[in-house]
Amino acid sequence: MINAVIAAVGVMLVLSLSRVHVVIALIVGALVGGLTGGLGIEATLKAFNNGLGGGATVALSYALLGAFAVAIAKSGLAHALADKILLLVDRQDSNGGGSVKWLLIGLLWVVAIASQNILPIHIAFIPLLVPPLLYVLGKLQLDRRLIACVITFGLITPYMFLPVGFGNIFLNEILLANVARSGVDVSNINVTHAMGIPALGMVFGLLLAFFSYRKKRVYDLRQIEKVEQVSVRYNPRTLLVAGLAIIAAFVIQLLLDSMIIGALSGFLIFSVSGIVRWRETDDLFTEGMKMMAMIGFIMIAAAGFAEVMKATGEVKSLVETSAGWIDHSKGVGALLMLLVGLLVTMGIGSSFSTVPILATIFVPLCVQLGFSPLAIVCIVGTAGALGDAGSPASDSTLGPTSGLNIDGQHHHIWDTVVPTFLHYNLPLLVFGWVAAMVL
């Protein structure tokens, strides 16, 4: 009988690729997985409903960030930046604004990396920074699939390689802690060394994306103008208040570890300052929440999907079954463990949640096969990170889509999920396997 996790993830991915809405794909996939795992319809629905609350916090965070982003757009801060960049584009010669293009790509790359380690705000910057730049990107005819790959690289690679910020949580508090809990001495392990080769796989994928999406792609600028108010007016006072609101939002988020309170604080500053008139706040808030509604519902449905997968108990069964196929071969063992990690993370949508599940089975298996402690850390870490890119339910793909699709010209599955899967999961699989064999 087919494993429930394979059935659920397979159905969810096939429906998503067939352009069925991701929320529907997640619900149907969860039902298929629950029924295949023997839960029955009532137990499946109960598990799904119990899991919905797990995605509610992130969904509400996105809704408030959407309202905050609309307030910033009204202030004109981001558009002041976009106007300056447009002037640079207009001054460029017939090369199509090549230097400006690289400046924008570099800006998004640096901010995405900083959001994981230097200023750990994660995906909060995307709805605020990316939409105002869409008009400039459209003028440059820059393929948004490349931008999605650049941002996703910045959201994943730092936490799986650098033990700072979210990287400290993933590498030290989750990866090393769970490997140690499973019986391996990690006291002398350099976790950066362990994850170095897999991180090079991510770099290879990013360079490949620059080649894959090097050609120009035409977007309807009128669609962007409808949602981004390109001609918005601004003055020094509104720009100053907007800057203070953004700083306050990020500082409060870092202090309280809450995107909800951070975004709400920024929005309130706009309201109190008068830039957003009190009688306009209701409509503005509703507009911002609608902008992020799809992402929020996907995250809520994804939490329900993940809960059903856990309730079936077949994640552990999948890992144990794959262990039976290895037959004392280190090469086959490493490959199967990485593939199982890819499948599990694609369904759950979170590397941070996957590692504890995988470590309990993978670590004893790795010890039995004779892998070194360094290789064990690499295998478990890479297996957890695999699937973060390319998962329809991961915030590493939902985040870029939330900023790139506000005008309806960027499809979540075909313009974010598929490109990031091809350019990151496949190289990560190869580089992770090589690392397991040489460390």
| Residue spans per domain, the chain | 4-438
User: Does residue 139 contact residue 320 with C-beta atoms inside 8 Å?
Assistant: no
pLDDT tens digits in sequence order for the chain, 439 residues long: 678 888 888 888 888 888 888 888 888 988 998 888 888 888 888 888 888 876 677 677 777 777 777 777 777 776 677 677 767 766 665 454 567 788 889 989 998 998 887 776 777 778 778 887 888 888 888 999 999 999 999 999 998 988 887 888 889 888 998 888 888 888 888 999 999 999 999 999 999 999 999 999 999 988 887 766 555 566 777 778 878 887 888 788 778 877 778 878 888 888 787 777 777 777 777 777 776 677 777 778 877 888 888 788 777 777 777 666 776 778 888 898 898 888 888 877 677 777 877 887 788 888 888 899 999 999 999 988 888 888 888 888 888 998 898 888 999 899 999 999 999 999 999 999 999 999 8
* Chain position carrying tokens 């996790």: 5
CA angle 275, 280, 281 (to 5 degrees): 85
- Is the distance from CB of 195 to CB of 160 less than 8 angstroms? yes
* Residue 109: both structure tokens together: 């790359």
Is pTM beyond 0.75? Reply is yes
Cβ neighbours of 18 (radius 10 Å): 9
Residue owning tokens 């994981």: 116
Contact predicate 380/179, CB 8 Å: yes
3-class DSSP assignment, residue 417: helix
Closest among 373, 411, 378 to 392, alpha carbons compared: 411
Reading the block at residue 173, the tokens are 């508090």
Q: Please tell me the distance from the alpha carbon of residue 352 to that of residue 357, in angstroms, as a whole number.
A: 10
C-alpha span between 266 and 18 (Å, rounded): 39
How buried is residue 190: exposed, middle or buried, by Cβ count under 10 Å (0-12/13-18/19+)?
exposed
Torsion sign (Cα): 226, 227, 231, 233 = positive
What is the C-alpha to C-alpha distance for residues 351 and 363, in angstroms, rounded to an integer?
A: 17
Q: Cβ(387)–Cβ(344) under 8 Å? A: yes
